[in-house]
């Protein structure tokens, strides 16, 4: 079953499609964009190894010429230096990219932010499609068109708003689900939890742990404290990977404040 959520932004509106096996429809999704004949997939090395060939095969089956550009995985590589290397590879693609080339961001939030920034700036702006592969990217980073990189002075200090032409969420890809430990995910802001802690505490299940997962430790801890005070019995706040939590606590629901 595929669900489609329309993001209404006037001329910049786009569909977020959520379903099983949607990676196989990437080629058709690119081919459906007017004038698109060439795509460049940008993924970190881990994700390129897991899903790079499936993405290229789908593009090729859709009649779209495709190239894969890899960068080293991890937040520490979400930098202008990495973007520079991606540009080097992008401008060496043959045949040369043009304004109809589509960028495909394949991976977690780091790939999405960085590939989106490349799309926002290469040739003064190319269309792009997001294929998120982590839960955080599914429920948060793939929506809203925020792109960019970190700077030594702080996180996400350099960037641009650039809406994608489509988002394809293949629910087979996040490995967090593959363990069977996480049974749901939702994106809730800290502001929402501050305002409605009692309502969230009443609404969330009390018989399984709730994991608050995000990149901001302070926000996660504040949200956890508010929910605990409001009566939710089991709340954890994590940043980074969730593997240790999986092993220790079994099933739960993940939120990304």
Ligand X SMILES: NC(=O)c1ccc[n+]([C@@H]2O[C@H](COP(=O)([O-])OP(=O)(O)OC[C@H]3O[C@@H](n4cnc5c(N)ncnc54)[C@H](O)[C@@H]3O)[C@@H](O)[C@H]2O)c1
Give the footprint of ligand X on this chain (CB under 6 A).
44, 46-47, 50, 73-75, 78, 107-111, 113, 133-134, 136-137, 140-141, 144, 146, 156, 173-175, 215
User: In terms of CB distance, is 62 or 214 closer to ligand X?
Assistant: 214
For residue 96, the 8-state DSSP code is P
Tell me the closest approach of the beta carbon of residue 146 to ligand X, in angstroms. 4
User: In terms of CB distance, is 37 or 221 closer to ligand X?
Assistant: 221
Q: Which of 190, 230, 229, 228 lies closest to 209, judged by CA?
A: 228
Secondary-structure breakdown of the chain: helix, strand, coil percentages, each rounded to the nearest 5:
40, 30, 30
Encoded tokens for 179 = 């363990």
Tell me the closest approach of the beta carbon of residue 121 to ligand X, in angstroms. 15
Rounded Cα distance between 81 and 99, Å, is 24
Rounded Cα distance between 250 and 253, Å, is 10
Whether the ω angle into residue 219 lies within 30 degrees of 0, i.e. cis, is no
User: In terms of CB distance, is 163 or 173 closer to ligand X?
Assistant: 173
Tell me the closest approach of the beta carbon of residue 207 to ligand X, in angstroms. 27
Tell me the closest approach of the beta carbon of residue 98 to ligand X, in angstroms. 26
User: In terms of CB distance, is 101 or 111 closer to ligand X?
Assistant: 111
């Amino acid at each position: 079953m595929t669900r489609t959520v329309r993001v209404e932004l006037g001329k910049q509106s786009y569909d977020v499609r959520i379903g099983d096996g949607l990676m196989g429809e990437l080629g058709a999704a690119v081919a459906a964009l007017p004038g698109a004949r060439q795509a460049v997939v940008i993924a970190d090395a881990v994700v390129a190894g897991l899903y790079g060939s499936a993405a290229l095969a789908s593009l090729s089956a859709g009649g779209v010429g495709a190239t894969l550009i890899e960068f080293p995985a991890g937040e520490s590589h979400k930098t202008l230096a990495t973007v520079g290397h991606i540009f080097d590879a992008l401008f060496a693609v043959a045949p040369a990219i043009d304004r109809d080339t589509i960028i495909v961001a394949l991976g977690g939030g780091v790939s999405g932010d960085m590939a989106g920034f490349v799309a926002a700036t290469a040739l003064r702006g190319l269309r792009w499609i997001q294929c998120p592969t982590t839960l955080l990217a599914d429920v948060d980073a793939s929506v809203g068109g925020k792109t960019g990189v970190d700077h030594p002075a702080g996180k996400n200090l350099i960037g641009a708003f650039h809406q994608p032409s489509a988002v394809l969420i293949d629910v087979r890809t996040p490995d967090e689900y593959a363990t069977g430990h996480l049974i749901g995910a939702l994106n809730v802001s800290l502001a929402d939890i501050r305002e409605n802690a009692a309502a969230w505490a009443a609404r969330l299940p009390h018989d399984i742990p709730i994991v608050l997962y995000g990149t901001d430790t302070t926000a996660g801890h504040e949200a956890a404290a508010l929910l605990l005070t409001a009566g939710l019995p089991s709340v954890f706040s994590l940043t980074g990977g969730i593997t240790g939590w999986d092993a220790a606590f079994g099933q739960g629901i993940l939120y990304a404040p």
